[in-house]
Structure 1
Amino acid sequence: MSRILGDLGAVVVDADLIAREVVEPGTPGLAALVAEFGPEILQPDGQLDRPALAAKAFGDEAARGRLNGILHPLIGARTAELVDAAPADSVVLQDIPLLVEGGMGAAFNLVVVVYVDAAERVRRLVELRGMPEGDARARISSQATDDQRRAAADVWLDNSGPQGALDPVVKALWERLQGYAENIANSVAVRVPPVLAAANPVWAEQGRRLVERLRFVCGEDAVRVDHVGSTAVPGLDAKDVIDLQVTVRNLDAADALAERLAGAGFPRVADVTRDDPKPIYGIGGEADPSLWDKRFHASADPGRPAHVHVRVDGWPGQRFALVFRDWLRADPAARDEYLDLKRRAAAAAADGSDVEAATARYLDVKTPWFDDAYHRAMGWAEKTGWTAADR
């Protein structure tokens, strides 16, 4: 995959190549390895004997930790140099074999996992790299499981087949990456028409990954980050858009996050007056319309539309987004009622007009229902003792 994307124009930063570079003869990295694991990890010509090092490090967790403690800082520093040197408008591909093991996925705009089944991995390590089979199996057993890799993957590519079988898929991925990079450079958010898709269990995993990414981007400036909206409710048909809520302490904090969110692939959308329905002002004593204010961002990724609602902790809109999601999860009748409303709204919007006009008609149908739904959801929250801290 890296070779194809590099040929197409991506700037490839290969962690494997960097790992070799930082332990070349004469480097501080090689000297540190010899000091830790002994001179027997060297070949007669002074080069690192990788099978000898693997035999010492990969069969023992403590030894592997010492190895990583030496190599990872060196690899990280060199990686940062190469990434910083890449042109500002380029697609930078970081090829990181241990990304999942290191829990690094949230730091990237998109994570692509190239999968190869275990038997084929062993064969390639033995036949192509000359690694003893025992060492190959020990290395694989020390790595992330397939389930862990799937959980981290925004894109899953199965490369277990013959050479070249994956080429067309990677070329299609390149089109997505180009569009994503252009959208980030131009602060363009992806907006989609209000067309309902069948409930998809994949939405939960996609939401979880985006929540982790937003937590990484926002850091301590976010009180919490949640997957909200219809895609967070199992069994509910929805627009194929992941809704996320970033809770902040005040609107100044929301504005301070704008540049970071845009750089991470979530540019701000200026006009949000029609973005989502608001219950009538005055409900529950919340008479100040400004208490429903928020900041709205949307994903620049053409392959995964998402909306990011940045709301103030404790304000009615922030609480309602969480309560409404959990009410629908807990009450199948309310969920079915809402689904019927969404279907009628989608039918009213389905006339082939532009996205904004269609969205306006969609909300014209939905909004009146929310006045009563607000009372019902908040009543459910009070009756059940719901608190945001529980979720």
Structure 2
Amino acid sequence: MLRIGLTGGMGAGKSTAARLLTERGAVLIDSDVIAREVVAPGTEGLAALVEAFGPDILAADGNLDRPALAAKAFADDEARATLNGITHPLVGRRTAELLSAAPADAIVVQDVPLLVENGLGAMMNLVVVVTADTETRVHRLEEFRGISRPDALARIATQATDEQRRAAADVLLDNNAGPEELARQIDALWEHRLVPFEHNLRTRTRAVRGDVQLVGPDPTWEAQAGRLVARLALACGAAARRIDHIGSTAVPGLPAKDVLDIQVTVADLAAADELREALEEAGFPRIGYTTDDPKPGTDPALWDKRIHVSADPGRPANVHLRVDGWPNQQWALAFRDWLRSDPAAREEYLAVKRKAEDAAAGLTGEQAIQAYLDVKTPWFDAVYRRVLAGRERP
């Protein structure tokens, strides 16, 4: 299933976004609802809280008196750790039960208010953040929830900042204009990204890509790659010796195809093959390429690799699994670092890329890619030794 993490600050409109997504067919798992459910009367969660903090945390009707609990649980770090040690495993277990009960073709939206604060983005296939200006949020909290302006501002100040949420977001939904505009954005997100992403994930199909075309440098490429690296690290576990953002999008200021390249370094190709299932479940199906283009004077067998690609139509990416110490693994890092450190090299490479783009113009699919590579490959062969020599120089 496709797992979407939905979050946003108080008053941003996260609940409205959740409702709109469920109206379109999403399965909603609401963390706040679960957090209340696991400490309802008669549950093991409530019994454990009473044992830890005393019976005076109960209201007269037997429900949890949340202000009374907060007064004790947030008194110090030890008490807070006790609270979290009781509730977090219960919430996690119930979330896992709901995920298991969802249909195999579900688009599951997990409404998690503290997703950014708790660093949970890597567990999701996508993170969707609902945003709104602070004044808009305060006005909504005053009007619809009866929270005073000073209290609203104080609560907002305790949450993740807008910058932190933007850094965690694969998708930003601007909710300053209200429900109708938010619904329009969600319609587009649902139709053009979530539905095809779910299909691709379930069928282990690569996302359709557009023409081979260079675009201007995007300052968010590094953050986007960072989110993919975190997901890949979770999928690969200890089998990944290192994971790096490589290629043109890893070089600040360099125009590139809007495709992120990530290198996963493994011990051997057997380890790469063992990761196939985990990577495909994470949204990166394998494709048939099994080698890089060997460079002159090297053993062609040491240029073998495995490659996975993104199933997400909104974020094209290639994931190269290469063996630690093999020339293709070292070349990918050396070439990136050479471009980062040498302005003349960047200009030289950009000229080659422009020529390759022209060669691919008017072609589609594999033909376009091959035409693009036919121009670049001879240049790579020509600079190979120069790049490695620069890396070895003290």
TM-score relative to the length of structure 2: 0.89
Q: Which amino acid aligns with 2:280?
A: A
Percent identical pairs in the alignment equals 60
Residues 1:43 and 2:59 aligned together: yes
Aligned to 1:291: 302
CA distance in 2, matches of 1:139, 1:21: 24
CA distance in 1, matches of 2:64, 2:173: 32
Alignment check: 8 A CA contact 1:15 1:75 kept: yes
Q: Which amino acid aligns with 1:358?
A: A
TM-score relative to the length of structure 1: 0.89
Aligned to 2:46: 30
Q: 1:70-81 alignment to 2 at 5 Å?
A: 70-81=86-97
Q: 1:134-153 alignment to 2 at 5 Å?
A: 139-153=155-169
CA distance in 1, matches of 2:81, 2:159: 13
CA distance in 2, matches of 1:202, 1:338: 21
Residues 1:358 and 2:368 aligned together: yes
Q: Secondary structure at the match of 2:286?
A: coil
Summarize deviations over 1:166-187 as a string: whole Å, max 9, x none: 1111111112111001011111
Residues 1:318 and 2:335 aligned together: no
Q: Compared with structure 1, are the counterparts of its residues 252 and 369 closer, same or farther at alpha carbon in structure 2 (3 Å cutoff)?
A: same
CA distance in 1, matches of 2:326, 2:35: 49
Q: Secondary structure at the match of 1:99?
A: coil
Aligned to 1:12: 28
Alignment check: 8 A CA contact 1:277 1:370 kept: no
CA distance in 2, matches of 1:67, 1:161: 39
Residue range with higher mean Cα deviation, 91-100 or 325-334? 91-100
The structural deviation recorded for 1:208 is 1.1
Aligned to 1:327: 338
Residues 1:237 and 2:255 aligned together: yes
Alignment check: 8 A CA contact 1:51 1:131 kept: no
Residues 1:188 and 2:198 aligned together: no
Residue range with higher mean Cα deviation, 306-315 or 123-132? 123-132
Summarize deviations over 1:31-54 as a string: whole Å, max 9, x none: 333344444443332223334444
Aligned to 2:6: none
Q: Compared with structure 1, are the counterparts of its residues 134 and 31 closer, same or farther at alpha carbon in structure 2 (3 Å cutoff)?
A: farther
CA distance in 2, matches of 1:250, 1:135: 56
What is the Cα-based RMSD across aligned positions, in Å?
2.2
CA distance in 2, matches of 1:128, 1:325: 52
CA distance in 1, matches of 2:55, 2:141: 25
CA distance in 1, matches of 2:342, 2:198: 41
Summarize deviations over 1:330-376 as a string: whole Å, max 9, x none: 0000011000100010011001x221001111111111101121111
Summarize deviations over 1:121-159 as a string: whole Å, max 9, x none: 555556545667776555444432222222211112233
Aligned to 2:277: 259
Aligned to 1:106: 122
| Count of paired positions | 376
Aligned to 2:318: 307
The structural deviation recorded for 1:213 is 1.1
Q: Secondary structure at the match of 2:235?
A: helix
Alignment check: 8 A CA contact 1:58 1:142 kept: no
Aligned to 2:347: 336
Summarize deviations over 1:1-57 as a string: whole Å, max 9, x none: 111111111111111111111121122222333344444443332223334444555
Residue range with higher mean Cα deviation, 99-108 or 57-66? 57-66
CA distance in 2, matches of 1:35, 1:121: 38
CA distance in 2, matches of 1:266, 1:80: 22
CA distance in 1, matches of 2:55, 2:114: 26
CA distance in 1, matches of 2:85, 2:134: 27
Q: Which amino acid aligns with 2:281?
A: G
Alignment check: 8 A CA contact 1:245 1:309 kept: yes
Q: Which amino acid aligns with 2:310?
A: S
Alignment check: 8 A CA contact 1:344 1:365 kept: yes
Alignment check: 8 A CA contact 1:230 1:236 kept: yes
Q: Compared with structure 1, are the counterparts of its residues 65 and 130 closer, same or farther at alpha carbon in structure 2 (3 Å cutoff)?
A: farther
Alignment check: 8 A CA contact 2:121 2:168 kept: yes
CA distance in 2, matches of 1:42, 1:269: 57
The structural deviation recorded for 1:302 is 0.1
CA distance in 2, matches of 1:120, 1:25: 37
Q: Compared with structure 1, are the counterparts of its residues 126 and 51 closer, same or farther at alpha carbon in structure 2 (3 Å cutoff)?
A: farther
Residues 1:178 and 2:188 aligned together: no
The structural deviation recorded for 1:194 is 1.8
CA distance in 2, matches of 1:159, 1:57: 34
Aligned to 1:387: none
Residues 1:375 and 2:388 aligned together: no
Counterpart selection for 1:220 from 238, 241, 255: 238
Q: Which amino acid aligns with 2:249?
A: T
Residue range with higher mean Cα deviation, 159-168 or 242-251? 159-168
The structural deviation recorded for 1:96 is 1.0
Q: Which amino acid aligns with 1:367?
A: T
CA distance in 1, matches of 2:261, 2:205: 17
Aligned to 1:91: 107
Counterpart selection for 1:246 from 257, 260, 264: 264
Gaps of 5+ in 1: 385-391
Alignment check: 8 A CA contact 2:289 2:306 kept: no
